Structures are given as structure tokens and as C-alpha cells.
Amino acid sequence: MSVATVMAIDDDPGITALFKRFLQPAGFKLCECHHALNAEAKIEEALPDVVLVDLYMPEVSGFELIERFHERWPDLPLIAISGTDKVADVVRAMRVGAWNFIEKPILDFDAITDILRVAISRARKIREKIRAEEYLHQQKENLEHLVAERSAALVKTNRELQETIKKLQQSQSQMVQQEKLASIGNLAAGIAHELNTPVGFVFSNFHSMKDYILKFRSLIEKYRDFHGRLVGVDGVPVAEREALAKLEESLQLDFILEDLDELFAESEDGFERITSIVTKLREFSRVDQRDETSLYCLNKAIDTTLVVARNEYKYDAEVRTVLDPKLPEVYCHVGQINQVILNIIVNAAQAIKEQERQGFGVIEIETGATRECVWCRIKDDGPGIKPEHLNKIFEPFFTTKPPGRGTGLGLNISYDIIVNKHQGELIVDSEYGQGTEFTIQLPRCQVV
Ligand SMILES: Nc1ncnc2c1ncn2[C@@H]1O[C@H](COP(=O)(O)OP(=O)(O)OP(=O)(O)O)[C@@H](O)[C@H]1O
Ligand SMILES: [Mg+2]
């Protein structure tokens, strides 16, 4: 065991010499200090294990020293040397930081060495405890640091997972929607194709028939004229002429001949409508160029989409269009833009239908342009969207429709098409109980 160092601070050299005499044989090393003002520097230099402080010295009082040293080195044992037997001094010294006290005159050396040993051992224990506490504190900090690091890593992983889930949902949503788009497109294209051939030959036959019938009509008119001129001519059998006149009358020949023109006109109008529907169905699907962008007019998109969506709205809503006749064309994916307009119109129609109202609802479609963009507003007077749903409607799979009726992908994919694929904007404005308005904005002169 190393030798313990004792510092004795006392202005009386006799006392310190006495300490030296009996402490050195007892295994202590003694440092003497006779000037209280030097004491602090001496402690710093000698690093004693225990310090003896006389309470009454001329330069500075021992109480003051004890208080200062205790504050600076709380684990340094300070033993007061009290020349008096005043209990009050002892109590005061202990209060300001003394660990123990030794009474002058110094008589019982063994008792003093015991006091010193106990103080040193206590100080060691305190230091060990402090070290252990410091160690524990350090470990705790390390642990907390580690936990914080791991938590941050977990949070990061969790965020990445969420991102991945979102991306997966997005791509799933896109796949489903593309599938949907393709099937609607294919369906429309298929119907258009199927109709085209029979409509073609029916139309061609109709023209031939019209030609024949007009020929018959002019012939009949000639016969009738001739027949009229036979009245009263000798040799013409009266009974047969009258029978012919009766037959004409019963067949309503006059009416038929007159009605023919109207029938032809109506049928031609019908053929034109069928041809226009077939053309619009083909336009809507654009099967041949679904992946390409081209200059396209939003008015046309509305026109064609209304044909495809007609069955969805015709029993519940009236569609009113105010289309800007000078609307500029924009570069876009035609099939995708048609799909967005279809989604929004079908949503409006379904929302109105779900109200089960008495009369028809109204879907207003308007187009226009600014210097930067062309826009299309689709407004319905349906039930509106609840405020708490408004910020969710563009999320994938958000739907308020019963299972099997809505997948909750329509607006999500529409947003993706307009905002991400065309750098445009898709804005919703809805008041619950009043109706909903969607605005599509597509930048002008943008090649996507
Ligand atoms: N015009 C509207 N009026 C009222 N609510 C609407 C309207 N448009 C959309 N919504 C609400 O937004 C939800 C999400 O619409 P979205 O088109 O994304 O999905 P969906 O119509 O439910 O299903 P999907 O289009 O995939 O068949 C709808 O379920 C509905 O609650
Ligand atoms: Mg929808």
C-alpha cells in the first residue's frame, strides 16, 4: 500500500513538528504548511490524502479554509484542529465541511492516527463510489446514445418501409388502372370495329335502296299520270281502273310517296350519328397511339368521353357544356387525358345517382385557356365531399363506395396523369351538401 500523505496547516511550527514526530513512524508522510495563505497552492502541489487545519490562525481563519477547500475538493478529508474545547467551534467546523476534529493539546497519538486512517479510507470509498457512479453514468450515456442511434435507424427503416409500401401501392394502382384503361379502350375499339362493318354495308345498301325507291317513285308517278289521263277513254275497262284506284287508296300510296323523303332524311341523320359515335369510340381508345403524345384539343376529349360515359349519366344527370371554340390544342397522351375526364364524369354521375333525388342532377363542363394553360372544369350539383375526406380522395384505394362498386383508384391515377405525367394541376373544390368541382389544368406548349 502506498504511503498516505498528511498535510498539516498550522501557524505553530511546534504543532506540525509534533505531528511529524508521531505520524512518520506510523507510516504517514507529513507536509507542513505554516501560512494559511499558501495552503491552497500547497495542496495543489502535494495532493495530500488528508488535511489537518488549525481553526485559529492569524492570516485566515481555519473555518474559512475548510469551507473553501470543501467546496473545491469535496472528497478531500479535512480534519479541524481545535485548540479549544468549545463545542460551538467543532459544530461550526463540521458545518462548513470538516470531516472530524482533533483536540489540542495533542495527547492520544493512536486516536489521531485512527482518525486519519478512517478519514482516508472513507475518502477512498467515496472516490471509488464517485468513479463507479461516473462509470455508470458513462455507460448509461453510451446506452442512451446507442438506443437513440438504433431508434433513429429504426425510424429511418420504418420511413423507408412506408415509402416502399406507398410506391408498391402506387404501382399496383397504376397497373390496375392501366389494365382498366386498356380494357375500356379495347372495349371501345372493339365495339367501334364490330359496328363499323355492318354499319358500312347497311349504309351502302340503304343508299342503293333509296336510289331504287326513288326510281320506283318516279315510275309510279308516271303510271299514275298516265292512268289519270285514261279516264273516259273508250275501251279502257272501268271496273279494273276503279279497282286500281281503290288499291292505291287502301295502300295510302299518296302518304307513302310523300313520307319517303322524311324517312330518307331521318335515316341519313341516324347513320351520321352512328358513324359519329363509332368515330368517337375510336378516338377515345386511340388504340394505335396510346403511348404517344400528340396535339389534342380538350373539347374533343370531352366530346368523345361523353359518348363513352353516356350510359353512366343519362338516367340521372343532364350534361351542359360550355366549350371554348378557340381552345388551343396541347401536347398530351390522348388516351390518358380521356381516362381522367371519364373518371371525373363517372364520379359526378355516381355521386348524383347515390342521392336518389327526384329530378335530374346537373353536370356542367366548361373549357377555357389562359396564357399558361388550358383548363377544363367539371362541376356537379351532387352531395359534395365531406371536409374530412377532401385530403384523402387522391390517395390510392380511398373510396366511400360499397365494395365492388369503387376501387378508390380513379382520382389517384388521374392525379398521377395530370400532375406527374403532364406537369399540370388537378384541383378539387367541394362543399359538402352543395356539390363538387374538379379543375384540370394542362400547361400550353409542353411536349411530354
Ligand atoms: N364528384 C364527386 N362527388 C362526391 N364525392 C366524390 C366525387 N368524386 C370523388 N368523390 C369521392 O372520392 C372518392 C374517391 O374517388 P375515386 O374516383 O378515386 O374512387 P372511386 O370512384 O371510389 O372508385 P373507382 O374510381 O376506382 O372506381 C369516392 O369514393 C368519393 O367518395
Ligand atoms: Mg371514381
Mean pLDDT by 10 residues, the chain (448 residues): 88 92 93 94 95 92 95 94 81 94 88 93 91 93 94 94 86 72 71 80 91 93 87 82 88 90 91 83 63 87 90 93 96 88 94 93 97 96 96 90 82 91 95 96 75
Protein residue closest via CA to atom 31 of ligand 1: 400
Identity of the residue numbered 336:
Q
pLDDT at 288: 44
pLDDT at 6: 96
The answer to whether the CB of 408 is under 6 A from ligand 1 is yes
Protein residue closest via CA to atom 5 of ligand 1: 385
What span, in angstroms and rounded, lies between the C-alpha atoms of 177 and 220? 61
pLDDT at 133: 92
Domains of the chain: 4-107 (3.40.50.2300), 291-448 (3.30.565.10)
From 297, 300, 281, select the one nearest 192 (Cα to Cα). 281
pLDDT at 177: 66
Protein residue closest via CA to atom 9 of ligand 1: 347
pLDDT at 205: 92
Task: Tell me, in angstroms, the distance from the centre of ligand 2 to residue 174's CA.
Answer: 14
The answer to whether the CB of 351 is under 6 A from ligand 1 is yes
What span, in angstroms and rounded, lies between the C-alpha atoms of 437 and 428? 6
Cβ-contact 101, 112 below 8 angstroms:
no
Task: Tell me, in angstroms, the distance from the centre of ligand 2 to residue 343's CA.
Answer: 5
Virtual CA dihedral for 227, 233, 236, 237, nearest 10 degrees? 100
Ligand nearest to the CA of 381: 1
From 423, 426, 416, 427, select the one nearest 166 (Cα to Cα). 416
Task: Tell me, in angstroms, the distance from the centre of ligand 1 to residue 353's CA.
Answer: 13
* E strand or H helix that includes residue 364: strand 361-369
Atom nearest to 412 CA in ligand 1: 18
